Amino acid sequence: MARKSKSNSKPSVRQLDDKTHISSAGIVVEQQITDTIENNFMPYAMSIILSRAIPAIDGFKPSQRKILYMMYKKGLLTSAMAKSANIVGEVMKLNPHGDQAIYETMVRLTKGYEALLHPYVDSKGTFGKVYSRDLAWAASRYTEARLDKICNELFSDIDKDTVDMVDNYDNSMKEPMLLPVTFPTILINPNSGIAAGMACSICSFNLEELCKATIELIKRPKAEIYDILLAPDFSTGGYLLYDRAAIEEIYTTGRGRIKLRAKYRYDKENSCIDIYEIPATTTIEEIIDKVIEKNKEGKFKEINDIRDETGINGLKITIDIKRSTDPDALMTKLFASTPLESAFNANFNVLVNHRNYPKVMGVYEILKEWIEFRSECVRRRTEYELDKYRKHLHLLQGLEKILVDIDKAIAIIRKTEEENEVVPNLMIGFRIDKAQAEYVADIKLRHLNREYILKQLQKIKSLTEGIADREDIIANPKRVNKIIIDELNSVIQKYGKPRKTEIIYSYEEAKDDEQEDIPDYPVTLFFTKEGYFKKVTPQSLRMSNSHMLKENDELLQTVETTNRKELLFFTNKCQCYKTSASFFDDTKISVLGDFVAAKLEMEEGELPLYMAVTDEDYKGSIIFFFENGKAAKVELSAYKTVTKRKKLIKAFSDKSPLVAAVQLEDEKELVLVSSAGKHLLINTAVINVKTTKNTGGVSVMSLKKGQRLFNVRPYEEGEFAKVYRFRAKNLPAAGALLSPDDKSEQITF
């Protein structure tokens, strides 16, 4: 048997009882969790960040760049259209991630999809629409595409060493790391992506405005561009509600929020509203679904019907309304409660070439980085041309020496017996180098005349001037800037378009009038231990005799209030569900009422434990008492949210079971009862407010092992014969057992 090599590091294997055993199996290797993450997750995370989700300074993610470059190599910048399936096949030479992923990426670059202000791909066929969730694109075998004319600005200098070329995934061909774009494409078209632990969301700007702003920054690096680059511009049009503070934040920090609104017109004859441009952040289906949902809730009784009439003439959502309806007032309500007004949350996370990580940058910094990137492209192009001119001039200088005696050159060639000796003999005969001799030797016989050679030598002057000009460009940054400015002006002339998104500087904030539509009247709310809820009017309350309750159920809370009050239901899963009294129908006490868990669509097994009633201002506080004797006091305002969320997680601590919750408008005295029968009288003022909702609280009642806090109730004046026995000077305290003279109920455990 051959002896095993000592270098073999595989664990030894032995056979016992027909089972294979590995000697190192089951050995636990101690390793820092940080090392595990770094060795396993970090390479994956960096791959997503650097190679997939985040765009670079040229405005493209790697997948987009690969598609455009392969279309360029396929000749689709000047030729007729090609089948999309063929394009996808070519791109797989650079991007082996599957044909569907490639095709979907290409679709979003097309003119037909309408996602970009300046599409890079001209398309033929069905490519779906960015503003429709359901309108899908056709299969790649049915559609055709080619590069749009604007791609001339992406590839014009790519063959002049303007950018680095790297190997593709199998080292079979080269691809560019960046494209030498002649205008700031990074801000011309929208781009979004989600990486590991970071994301980007870049809005688009008007090409003419952006190029003019870039020119201004080249001329005056500290210039303000707010009057030139007015605001973002989106392919779906609509209105942009101008907020100078938000614009300044985006321009300086790269983060901010832009409000967008749909455009509409009122058709009086047909009593309908036609919406023909919508925010770029939503779709037709989302808008219609939301309007229908609100209509079912009775919020938009003025609406008779809503439908999608998008067709060959473009986007159109038609809303049929009642003839007595004020269309502008209705649209104001729709803006407030549907995606017809929505916000674009900007996050300008960009991968800059000279860094190996993305950075969130404002418009100013992005344009500065782009100017630096483009300046480097121009310098590299100039150096490429300079090298080419110098080589050509060098060859012509050798030809100039031949002109002195053409017959001698012919004689040297004729008398040389071996072909490989022609170049050395010319080098010796005319004192020229090898490159010059090769050039002379390769001249066709018909060109070995004085006229041809003189014509070639006339190029020496222009080459000399070209070399001097390019040397001056490389040495003079102002000339580089002038070239970039000229290119930007050329782009404006060729591709400039009017804004699609109209800016509104003065506007009325859309407010949800839902509250005003809700009638306000006195009601009494009843909440039971089993989680049933009743809302009863005073008139109905007077007419009813007794409550209907499930067996073993009992009333926990009875609150006299009004129909517009906000309700908070705290559950056994430490969550809070927000709603209002108006959400429940008026009923009688002679019925079971609404089962809150079902009405609010709580999770399986989740039950409400306590109900808090508050106004919109959420004044006051709430105290949670737990079995471990602790209490947590939280401001009600902690449960107030800007958005209309119905469920809040981690509403209170889950470290110990909840015994009771007490809502406070003013401080009050409470009696705490332990499972040992001890009573403790406290004033809620001694418990400090905590800033976090799910705080574990502070110890209030001292408990021995096996004991728990059993009950919490309001203190009734005179129930204790000697109050001082139950009131502690310091907390936590154990409390005292009841005496025969105390009026409080004796609790049996």
pLDDT digits (tens, 9 = 90+) for 517-554: 677 889 999 999 999 999 999 888 887 778 888 888 89
**Of all helices (H) and strands (E), which one includes residue 430?**
helix 422-430
Do residues 676 and 707 lie in contact, with contact meaning Cβ atoms separated by under 8 Å?
A: yes
Q: What is the mean pLDDT of residues 339-343?
A: 94
Token look-up 């104001």 returns 332
Q: Which CATH superfamily is domain 46-181 in?
A: Topoisomerase II, domain 5 (3.90.199.10)
- Residues 562-567 have a mean pLDDT of 90
pLDDT tens, residue by residue, 346-387: 999 998 866 667 889 999 999 999 999 999 999 999 999 999
Q: Which amino acid is at 313?
A: N
**pLDDT value for 50:** 66
Q: What is the pLDDT of residues 631-656, one digit of tens each?
A: 999 999 888 876 666 888 889 999 99
**Would you state the pLDDT for residue 324?**
85
Q: Is the pLDDT of residue 6 over 60?
A: no
Tell me whether residue 309 is exposed, middle or buried, using C-beta atoms within 10 angstroms of its C-beta: 0 to 12, 13 to 18, 19 or more: middle
The helix (run of H) or strand (run of E) holding residue 234 is: none
Q: Are 225 and 234 in contact (CB under 8 A)?
A: no
Other Cβ atoms within 10 Å of 155 Cβ, number: 20
Residue 23 has pLDDT above 80, yes or no: no
604: tokens are: 């399986």
pLDDT over threshold 60, residue 176: yes
| pLDDT band, very low/low/confident/very high, at 166 (cuts 50, 70, 90) | very high
**Average confidence score pLDDT of the chain:** 88
Please, is 329 exposed, middle or buried when counting C-beta atoms within 10 Å of its C-beta (0-12, 13-18, 19+)? exposed
- The CA distance from 271 to 652, in Å, is 51
Q: Please give the biggest Cα pair distance in the chain.
A: 140
pLDDT confidence of 34, banded at 50, 70, 90? confident
Q: Do residues 429 and 412 make contact, with C-beta atoms less than 8 angstroms apart? A: yes
Give the model's confidence band at 8: pLDDT under 50 very low, under 70 low, under 90 confident, else very high.
very low
Lowest mean pLDDT among 5-9, 302-306, 668-672, 725-729: 5-9
CA nearest neighbour of 230 among 251, 209, 258: 209
Q: What is the pLDDT of residues 109-155, one digit of tens each?
A: 999 999 999 999 999 999 999 999 898 999 999 999 999 999 999 99
Q: pLDDT by residue (tens digit) across 214-265?
A: 999 999 999 999 999 999 999 999 999 999 999 999 999 999 999 999 999 9
Bridge partners (DSSP) of residue 711 are 673
**Residue from 79, 132, 144 nearest 106 by CA:** 144
Residues 422, 413: contact at Cβ < 8 Å?
Answer: yes
Per-residue confidence (pLDDT) for residue 16, from 0 to 100: 46
Contact between 715 and 744 under an 8 Å Cβ cutoff? The reply is no
Chain centroid to CA 155: 29
What is residue 519's predicted lDDT score, i.e. its pLDDT? 79
CA dihedral 184, 188, 193, 195 (to 10 degrees): 20
Strand partners, 532: 595
Structure-block tokens of residue 740: 């025969």
Q: Map residue 614 onto helix, strand or coil.
A: strand
Single-letter amino acid, residue 165: M
- Active-site residue set: 142
CA distance 270 to 139: 39
- Give the model confidence (pLDDT) of 662-707 as tens digits: 999 888 999 999 998 999 999 998 998 988 888 889 999 999 988 9
Contact between 238 and 348 under an 8 Å Cβ cutoff? The reply is: no
Cβ proximity of 360 and 255 under 8 Å = yes
Query: What's the CATH number of domain 263-339, 3.90.180.10, 3.40.390.10, 1.10.15.40, 3.30.1360.40?
Result: 3.30.1360.40
Tell me how far apart the alpha carbons of residues 681 and 736 are, in angstroms, rounded to a whole number.
Answer: 9
- Does the structure show a pLDDT above 90 at 43? no
Cα gap 709→640, rounded to integer Å:
29
Q: What was the pLDDT predicted at 512?
A: 60
For domain 380-495, the CATH class is mainly alpha
pLDDT value, residue 355: 64
CA angle 103, 109, 114 (to 5 degrees): 115
Distances, alpha carbon 290 to alpha carbons 275, 296, 345, 515, in Å: 15, 10, 21, 18
Report, as an integer, the average pLDDT of 178-184: 95
pLDDT tens for each residue of 712-748: 999 888 888 888 889 888 889 998 898 888 776 555 4
Structure tokens at 185: 């494409």
pLDDT bin (cut points 50, 70, 90) of residue 513 is low
pLDDT band at 26, cuts 50/70/90?
low
Please count the other Cβ atoms lying within 10 Å of the Cβ belonging to residue 668. Answer: 14
**Count of beta carbons in the 10 Å neighbourhood of residue 322:** 11
Q: Report how far apart, in Å, the C-alpha atoms of 396 and of each of 387, 388, 438, 529 are.
A: 14, 13, 12, 101
CATH number of 514-668+687-693: 2.120.10.90
> Which of these, 101, 70, 71, lies nearest to 173 by C-alpha position?
70
pLDDT attached to residue 702: 92
DSSP state of 624: E
Beta sheet of 121-124, edge-to-edge order: 82-83, 144-147, 121-124
Report DSSP state, residue 315. -
Going by pLDDT thresholds of 50, 70 and 90, the confidence category of residue 91 is very high
> What's the pLDDT band for 410 if we cut at 50, 70, 90?
confident
Q: Supply the pLDDT for residue 517.
A: 61
Question: At 96, is the pLDDT very low, low, confident or very high (cuts 50, 70, 90)?
Answer: confident
As a whole number, mean pLDDT of residues 71-83 equals: 93
Beta pairing partners, 631 = 625, 698
Per-residue pLDDT, averaged over 81-101, amounts to: 91
Ranges of each domain in the chain: 46-181, 263-339, 380-495, 514-668+687-693
Q: List C-alpha distances in Å: 582 to 141, 357, 526, 658, 668.
A: 55, 52, 14, 28, 29
H or E segment and range at residue 332: helix 327-337
Residue 748 has a pLDDT of 43
In whole angstroms, how far apart are CA 483 and each of 26, 254, 383?
67, 28, 14
User: Quick one: what percent of the chain has pLDDT higher than 90?
Assistant: 58
Of 512, 498, 528, which is closest to residue 642 (Cα–Cα)? 512
Percentage of residues in the chain having pLDDT higher than 70: 92
- What are the tokens at 72? 């360029």
Angstrom distance (rounded) from CA 313 to CA 336: 28
**CB-based contact 120:183 (threshold 8 Å):** no
CA distance readout (Å), 413 to 408, 437, 689, 704, 722: 9, 11, 103, 115, 131
pLDDT number for residue 419: 86
Tell me which residue of 500, 153, 183 sits closest to 366, measured CA to CA. 183
CA dist 149 → 31, 77, 82, 484, 491 (Å) = 56, 7, 16, 20, 11
Place of tokens 């073993």: 552
Residues 51, 53, 54, 55: what is their CA dihedral angle, to the nearest 10 degrees? 80
